[in-house]
Structure 1
Amino acid sequence: MALSNSLRQGRRLLCQHRGAVAVAITHHDFSTSSQQQDKHSFKCLIVGGGAGGIAMAAKLARKLGKGQVGLIEPHENHVYQPMWTLVGGGLKKMEQSIRPQSDVMPKNCQWIADTAEKFDPDNNTVVTGKGHEVKYEYLILATGIQLNYHLIKGLPEGFKADPQLCSNYSMFTAPKTFPAIQNFQGGNAIFTFPNTPIKCAGAPQKIMYLAEDYFRKNGKRDSANVIFNTSLGVIFGVKKYADRLTDVYKSRGITVNFKHNLIEVRPEKREAVFEVLESDPKETVTFNYDMLHVTPPMSGVDSVRNSALADENGYVDTVKETLQHKKYPNVFGIGDCTNVPTSKTAAAVAGQCGVLLRTISAVMKGKTPKPRYDGYTSCPLITGYGKAILAEFDFDGQPLETFPFDQGREMRTMYHLKKDIMPEIYWQMLLKGLWNGPRVYRKMMHLGLSR
C-alpha cells in the first residue's frame, strides 16, 4: 500500500535545510554528510548531538576554547522530540521541532559529521563510520536511546500499510498520529507501553489523553473504547502522580490493562497481539484495533552496547550522582544513554548538565568529583487540551516540585508551560548551555526551603 500523505510529510521534512539526510526508523542506522574532518584529537570529545551533547558542547567550548572540543553527530537536522506529543495531538507542526544541526552547534566546537562505530576506551579512541580514529583526553557519551520497532513482529513495515497505525516516537510516523485520531470513527483506540526502559515514560499516556479528549469534543466518545495496554504494573512510577492519573483515567472511562506487552501487529487484519507478562503458563491475547499508537521497545545504541563502556543491559555504566564512568575515570555519560536510574527526559538532561560540568572540571584538575545529582527529572503530563499535571521528582520517586502549589492537579498553566514555554527554554537556553534545570528557581519559590 502506498505511504499515506502524513507519512510522506514526515519523510519530506527530513530533506529540508540544505538536503538533510534521512533518519532511519531504528535511529541507529545513521547517514552522514560530506563535511570534512580536519582534526582527529581533542581535549574533550562528545559523541551524540542531541540535547545533552549540544548543551555540554556549548558549556565546554566556552570553558576550553576553540579547537578543544569535538562532537560526533551524523544527522544534519536537530530535533526537539518532546514536541512530538503535541504534533500527534494536532497542536504543533513537525517542522516546528526541527532545526539544522549547524544552527545549534556551538561555534567553538568542531562538528564531525560521522557515526561513532567503535569505542576503545583503553586507548582513548573512537573509530568513526568513515574509518577515522578520533583521540580524546576526556569523552562524553550522549548517544541517546535506540528505537527497536523491528522487535515487534509486523513493524516497522506495518506503518506503511495502515493509516490508523501510528507512533509519536519516530519522525516518520508522528505526523500520522493526528490524522489517525481525526479519522477514527469508533471501536478500539489502543495505546501501548513496552517492556523496556523508554524515553519520556509519560508520552504514551499523553497522546492517549489527547485522543480521548478529541473524541469527546467531536462526538465520538460514546462509540470509542480507549485502552491503555502497558507492560508496567502501575500507571506511573511516582505514587503521588500515579494516584492522580488513576483518578483521571477512571473518571474518563479509559480501560487500563497492566502487564500487557505488544509483540505483534497484523495491519491487514487490524489486530494487535500482546503477551501477558508474569502469566504461567505464558499467554497471549489479541485485540482488534481501529487505531493503534505504538511505543516501541528501546535500548542503548548498538555501538555502546557492544563496547566496554556498557553495563549488562547495554547502557553507559555511570556513577549516578556524578555521571562519571565506573571503570574509566575520563569517560562520562549524560541523558538517555546512561544507566542512571531516573526517567529519560530532556528535563533530566538539564538537571545533569551543571553536575557533569562540575564533575569534568574536578577530574581535569585531578580532584575527586563530589556527588551532586539528585535524580531530578520532570514530565509534563498532558491530560487533555488545555490541561496538564507537572510531575517533578528525584531518584527516590519523591516529588521535587518547582512551584509553591500542588503540581499534581490538572492545570491550564502547566499545559501552556509544556506547549509554549518549554520549547523556548530548550532552543534558547538548554542548547546554549545556559539552563541547568529549575533548581535555583525552586529554592527561590520555596524561600530556600527546598532542595
Structure 2
Amino acid sequence: MTGHDCLWKEGFRRTLSHHQILIIGGGAAGIAAATSLHKRNMSLDIAVVEPSDTHYYQPGWTMVGGGVFSQDMTARPMVSVMPPYVTHIVGAVATFQPEQNQVTLQDETTLSYEFLIVAAGCKIGWTAIEGLEETLGKNGVTSNYRHDLAPYTWKLVQTMQGKEAIFTQPPMPIKCAGAPQKAMYLSCSAWRSAGKLENINVTFCNAGKVLFGCATYVPALMEYVTDYGINLEFGSNLVQVDGHNQIAFFLTASPGEETRIIERKFDMLHVCPPQIAPDFIVESPLASVGGWMAVDPQTMQSTVADNIFGLGDVTSTPNAKTAAAARKQAPLVAENLLALMAKKAMPKAYDGYGSCPLTVEHGKIILAEFGYGGKVMPSFPWDSTKPRRAAWTLKKSVLPWVYWNAMLKGREWLTRVST
C-alpha cells in the first residue's frame, strides 16, 4: 500500500457524514425534538448522536426511591425508543465547529449539518464532593439521581434503625429543583406509616436560601416540613463525605458570619450532587459565561449561530430543568427551526414553563407548575398549591405513559406554547 493509499483511507474514515438536521443527545429532549420535526415534515433527513445503549425515564427515579416504581420501569433499550426514521449515530461529541457547520466526535468522525439541535443534558458532578463516589450505594449514602442507586434509597428507608437522616441540595441549577425534597418527603411519609418518624431527626441541608424557587408553593411545603418535624439548614452545602465513619461535611454561610465547615453524623444520607453542562459544551464556542449553552430564552435559538437551537437541561434558559420543560420546548424548537428553513419569522415563544410534581406524601402531590419569573401556570382547573390525590395518579400512572407513548412518539399532549 502506498503512502497515498494510506492517506486516502484515513481521509475516507474521516469523510464528512452530512445530515439536514443533526441532533446532539438521545434523551427526552433530543428524541422529542426529532419526533416533533418528523411529524411536521416527514421528508426531513434527521440524525441523532447518542452514545448510550439505554434510555432512562429519569422523573421515575424519585418513585423508585420511594418504593412506588420498580427500577425496571424507568429504563428501556435505546434502540426501542430511537425513532426508525432517524439515523442513530452511536458516538460522543468532542468539539463543535459552528463556523463550518460541523461537529467532531471523540472517534474523530466529522459530521456536517444544515441545522443543529443541541439537547445534551447536564453532567452530574459526583466527583465535586470529596469522598462521595467511593461510598455511594453503601454506608447509608444514596442518591435518587442515579438509576442504580434509587433502589438503595428505598432499602435504607425500609431498614432505617438510626436517628439521623440528612437530605442535601447543592447550588442551583439542578435537574428538577424539587427532587431532593421529594426524596425527603416520601421517606418521612414511609417512616410515619411504620411508626418510626418520631425517633428520627430529619435535616434538609440546602445550599440555597429558600425552600423552593417559586415562592407561591413555599407555604404549602412548609406545612409538611413542620408536620414531619424537618430541620431546615439553609446556606449549607455538602463538600465532603466520610462514608466509613458516616460523617458529612458542610460548608456553611450564615448571614454576617464567615464560612466554616460543619460536621454532621448520619445514618442515612441522600445526596443531590452539583450539576453542570457537559464538558464538550462548557469548552465549546456555544457556551455562555456560566458554561451552559447560550440560547435566546424565548426562541431557543443559539446566540452564537442562527442555524443552531438548544433545548432541555443543557441550555442557559432560567427555567426549571425538568422533563416537562423539554416536553414544551420540543415542538417549539421544531416550529421555529422549520420557519427558519422557510425563511419566515419564528412563530413560537417559550414562556419558561416547567413542572415539578412534589411528592409530599405517599398518595398526594403538590403539582407545581410555573414559568419565567415564578409565574404560576397550572394546567388543570384546581388550586395547584394544594396536595391532591389526582396529582399523585397523574405522576404515578399517567405521566409515565405520556412520556413513553406520546412525548417520544411525536404526540404533543400538554405542550401548548405561546405565539
TM-score (ref. length: structure 2) = 0.93
2:179 maps to: 203
1:342 maps to: 319
1:27 maps to: none
CA distance in 2, matches of 1:109, 1:371: 24
Greater shift in the superposed pair: 283-292 or 171-180: 171-180
- Deviation at 1:64? 4.4
1:166 maps to: 142
2:394 maps to: 417
Greater shift in the superposed pair: 362-371 or 232-241: 362-371
1:241 maps to: 217
Matches within 5 A, 1:290-329: 290-329=267-306
Greater shift in the superposed pair: 81-90 or 363-372: 363-372
2:158 maps to: 182
AA aligned opposite 1:294: V
- Deviation at 1:155? 1.6
1:383 maps to: 360
1:24 maps to: none
1:144 aligned residue (103, 109, 121): 121
2:10 maps to: none
- Check whether the contact 1:66–1:109 (CA below 8 A) recurs between aligned residues: no
- Check whether the contact 1:186–1:220 (CA below 8 A) recurs between aligned residues: no
- Deviation at 1:371? 5.0
- Check whether the contact 1:353–1:436 (CA below 8 A) recurs between aligned residues: no
CA distance in 1, matches of 2:313, 2:198: 39
Q: Counterpart of 1:318 in 2: which secondary structure?
A: coil
Seen in structure 2, the aligned counterparts of structure 1 residues 130 and 64 have a Cα distance that, compared at 3 Å, is farther
Q: Structure 2 stretches of 5 or more lacking a match? A: 1-12
Q: Structure 1 stretches of 5 or more lacking a match? A: 1-35, 441-449
Seen in structure 2, the aligned counterparts of structure 1 residues 350 and 311 have a Cα distance that, compared at 3 Å, is same
1:287 maps to: 264
AA aligned opposite 1:131: E
- Check whether the contact 1:275–1:285 (CA below 8 A) recurs between aligned residues: yes
- Check whether the contact 1:59–1:433 (CA below 8 A) recurs between aligned residues: yes
CA distance in 2, matches of 1:342, 1:226: 29
CA distance in 2, matches of 1:394, 1:259: 25
AA aligned opposite 2:408: L
- Deviation at 1:281? 2.0
CA distance in 1, matches of 2:146, 2:50: 18
1:354 maps to: 331
- Check whether the contact 2:21–2:44 (CA below 8 A) recurs between aligned residues: no
- Check whether the contact 2:47–2:86 (CA below 8 A) recurs between aligned residues: yes
Matched, 1:214 2:190: yes
1:17 maps to: none
Greater shift in the superposed pair: 370-379 or 383-392: 370-379
2:235 aligned residue (259, 266, 285): 259
1:276 maps to: 252
- Check whether the contact 1:67–1:110 (CA below 8 A) recurs between aligned residues: no
Seen in structure 2, the aligned counterparts of structure 1 residues 54 and 371 have a Cα distance that, compared at 3 Å, is closer
Greater shift in the superposed pair: 181-190 or 58-67: 58-67
1:230 maps to: 206
AA aligned opposite 1:77: T
Query: What's the CA shift string for 1:125-166, capped at 9, x where partnerless?
Result: 11112211000010000000100110001021111542x110
CA distance in 2, matches of 1:228, 1:37: 51
AA aligned opposite 1:426: Y
Greater shift in the superposed pair: 277-286 or 123-132: 277-286
How many residue pairs match? The answer is 406
TM-score (ref. length: structure 1) = 0.87
Query: What's the CA shift string for 1:74-119, capped at 9, x where partnerless?
Result: 0111100000000001111111111111111111100001111111
- Deviation at 1:210? 0.6
Matched, 1:153 2:133: no
AA aligned opposite 1:399: V
Matches within 5 A, 1:70-89: 70-89=47-66
1:128 aligned residue (96, 100, 105): 105
2:93 maps to: 116
- Deviation at 1:65? 3.8
- Deviation at 1:196? 3.4
AA aligned opposite 1:263: V
CA distance in 1, matches of 2:282, 2:393: 38
1:68 maps to: 45
CA distance in 1, matches of 2:40, 2:398: 28
